[in-house]
Structure 1
């Protein structure tokens, strides 16, 4: 095991984790008040594998050359021209819908649709051609002014009762051009910020007025940079996506989008907390089976799989770290140096989980089981169920807390200025 990563659960960690569990159990208790154990268990089992079972299809469309493919790459946490990235170019490179799977979550698919064409563009025919019904929502992109083509498409999407979002890309280029037009080359930081605010205000006002004139009653436009999604309106766009999806697809979306800020880490944590108690319910059901090899009080395989999923969600797996290193232009080993508590996904085996169980037995297994059973009496009446639920819940909650800490450190490390060569 990597000596830089610690898996031993200390008394302090145990106290912190059990206090968090005490608060989170309220959600589980509420579920039992509304439904029977069997109903809650069946629902939990169905939803516990949402990352493997729920497909999310996002369509990116707009005129040719506006940055659709670059935005596809940005959503996948990738740079243009790296292996597996969507093709980009000044001319239309997408003649038919191109599917790009998320590098960590293959059920999340981002579609680069063909350009919407000329003034003779027929929105109804276009949507039939690209198989409209398969997408969960549409992002309509432009890099300059919105035209009749975009509004025709938007109105047709609305008529068919699907969500869409207007996005204005490449605003960083507009800001830079505005700076040069005002001869603000270096200047002080206040002057630069004022220039940025003025440019964004001009673009917002122009986009709003143009769309109103084209028939949109109350248009929403999100300003973004394909090169840095943490800037401008992308966090607001992400929040809007999440609010307008059903609960399951919302969680999948939150889990799959790249980590840009501490707030995105917070949202991922909440989504994983919702998943963890469902995984514990599945383990509880397994715990009801009185077999000797399940006597440890939890399903080891469920715990190991979920720990690997947590690593992927927080960008701590090998592939995600490599993608981030490439995006920020830093050696992957530099990013890995920030990780103190979370092992690589290859190390998370059933033997790894067994080792944690042995290390945590002194502090956790019995007392947490008593806490859970005392809080949710129905689990105490089940043969092995309460213990199994408690042990799985405890191990995964503790792992999640550590993953959050490491994700924050990796984010900070990625944001540090590059070291001079």
Structure 2
């Protein structure tokens, strides 16, 4: 199979193949076919030309570095999220929760009810130092009067705002939300301490306390009454910073993803850890969209008439992306230990799940990828290439670049699907253990 691919590569016309790749990108931006637009929307004709020039000028090593820089490009995009609320509202706990930190961890925001934020302070996410959660002073204080509040905090640098409260949103909060809207930015209302409210109700009414959902619905109704005309239901989230798998924490994360501009959305998704099923799905969708882009770029190397060169570069590239996928979906050891710590679970249990269900030596090493390729019938790879070509308007023959790109796409697609299965299995196990612990505690 490798020899067949090398022979195909030998007789290609480089200029024609670059023309084909350029056509792929151009058509992706003009076609009415949504599937093609989705698949190739992230790569432009200019990028194809750029890749060509890098390869011709810097060779294989330079091109590999170029591809690695594209993989890491999301780390260069600044993200700034402004969080407003009074002392004790749960801002610091939220900042820690969304960064997967406990209050005792290094770099965690100080949690307490007595310390009032006097100046804006930024907390970077451990996965991306350019994604910052800003603990902002409350509006309407002597140092930050309502009239000049947005100007004082540097409104323009923020992508959007979270207005956080423990009990009820004040008139000042409502006015702030209106001003943010008027200036063209997004905001979300976040009501924290929901689990604490449920526990307090049980203690106050040990015999006649409300059912959990009943109390949550009541809190939401009260919020609607307080916010009235300003309220948009899809902008209000009830959360508990210590119970991320309950209430609206996952829905909030999903809403943040949807409201980010395209370029920043990818950076946000890749920065946040895969702490829920919804976040795993969001990551997989975003990672899958990058497969198309990188597969097209890998096809550039297939134009060089050197036997085995394209295959060698493809292998290196596939391994790099596979490791990136692996870390993004929280399957590496440090991620599993962090997940176990936050869920109060034995990390060895999660590591065993990964070990039993995912062969690291097969999918994260060059030798392993070679062995994996041997198990795939040539007909399937041919079919993958044909399917790839079917999605590309204006391409009617099998040439080296599409064959290389189609094979790369197929391999990465299969690896990502397997990783998704294992990531969801890890989360399912974690959720089951947390639920069992909670049931035992309730019984006691």
Shorter chain as denominator, the TM-score bin is 0.7 to 0.9
TM score, norm. by length of structure 2: 0.74
Given that 1:179 and 1:195 are in contact with CA atoms closer than 8 Å, whether structure 2 keeps it comes out as: no
Which residue does 1:54 correspond to in 2? 77
Superposed, which structure 2 residues align to 1:209-228 within 5 Å? 209-212=225-228, 216=230, 218=232, 220-228=235-243
Given that 1:224 and 1:233 are in contact with CA atoms closer than 8 Å, whether structure 2 keeps it comes out as: yes
Which residue does 1:417 correspond to in 2? 433
Superposed, which structure 2 residues align to 1:106-121 within 5 Å? 106-116=129-139, 118=141, 121=144
Which residue does 2:268 correspond to in 1? 253
- How far does residue 374 in structure 1 lie from its aligned partner after superposition? 5.3
Which of 177, 186, 190 matches 1:167? 190
Given that 2:39 and 2:289 are in contact with CA atoms closer than 8 Å, whether structure 1 keeps it comes out as: no
Distance 1:43 1:66, change over 3 A: farther
Which residue does 1:288 correspond to in 2? 303
Distance 1:109 1:381, change over 3 A: farther
Q: How many angstroms apart in 1 are the aligned matches of 2:43 and 2:143?
A: 58
Superposed, which structure 2 residues align to 1:15-414 within 5 Å? 29-30=36-37, 38=45, 41=48, 50-92=73-115, 94-116=117-139, 118=141, 121-123=144-146, 125-184=148-207, 195-212=211-228, 216=230, 218=232, 220-292=235-307, 294-296=309-311, 299-339=314-354, 340-342=356-358, 348-358=364-374, 360=376, 364-373=380-389, 376=392, 384-414=400-430
Per-residue CA deviation, residues 158-190 of structure 1 (Å, 9 max, x unaligned), is 222111101000011111111222224xxxxxx
Matched length: 386
Q: Which is richer in helix?
A: 2
- How far does residue 157 in structure 1 lie from its aligned partner after superposition? 1.7
Q: Which moved more, 1:285-294 or 1:389-398?
A: 285-294
Per-residue CA deviation, residues 228-277 of structure 1 (Å, 9 max, x unaligned), is 12211223323332332333333433444444543433332222211211
- Tell me, what secondary structure is at the counterpart of 1:101? strand
Q: How many angstroms apart in 1 are the aligned matches of 2:116 and 2:377?
A: 58
Q: If you compute each CA radius of gyration, which structure gives the higher value, 1 or 2? A: 2
- Tell me, what secondary structure is at the counterpart of 1:112? strand
Given that 1:298 and 1:387 are in contact with CA atoms closer than 8 Å, whether structure 2 keeps it comes out as: no
Given that 1:119 and 1:148 are in contact with CA atoms closer than 8 Å, whether structure 2 keeps it comes out as: no
Q: How many angstroms apart in 2 are the aligned matches of 1:43 and 1:180?
A: 65
Distance 1:101 1:306, change over 3 A: farther
Per-residue CA deviation, residues 23-63 of structure 1 (Å, 9 max, x unaligned), is xxx86645799999836847998976553343332222211
- How far does residue 283 in structure 1 lie from its aligned partner after superposition? 1.2
Given that 2:86 and 2:116 are in contact with CA atoms closer than 8 Å, whether structure 1 keeps it comes out as: no
Which residue does 2:9 correspond to in 1? none
Where do 5+ consecutive residues of structure 2 fail to align? 1-32, 52-66, 438-444
Q: How many angstroms apart in 2 are the aligned matches of 1:208 and 1:377?
A: 50
Q: How many angstroms apart in 2 are the aligned matches of 1:378 and 1:275?
A: 22
Given that 2:195 and 2:243 are in contact with CA atoms closer than 8 Å, whether structure 1 keeps it comes out as: no
Given that 1:290 and 1:383 are in contact with CA atoms closer than 8 Å, whether structure 2 keeps it comes out as: no
Given that 2:301 and 2:310 are in contact with CA atoms closer than 8 Å, whether structure 1 keeps it comes out as: no
Given that 1:288 and 1:383 are in contact with CA atoms closer than 8 Å, whether structure 2 keeps it comes out as: no
Where do 5+ consecutive residues of structure 1 fail to align? 1-25, 185-190
Q: How many angstroms apart in 2 are the aligned matches of 1:298 and 1:28?
A: 28
Given that 1:287 and 1:298 are in contact with CA atoms closer than 8 Å, whether structure 2 keeps it comes out as: no
TM score, norm. by length of structure 1: 0.78
Q: Which moved more, 1:223-232 or 1:363-372?
A: 363-372
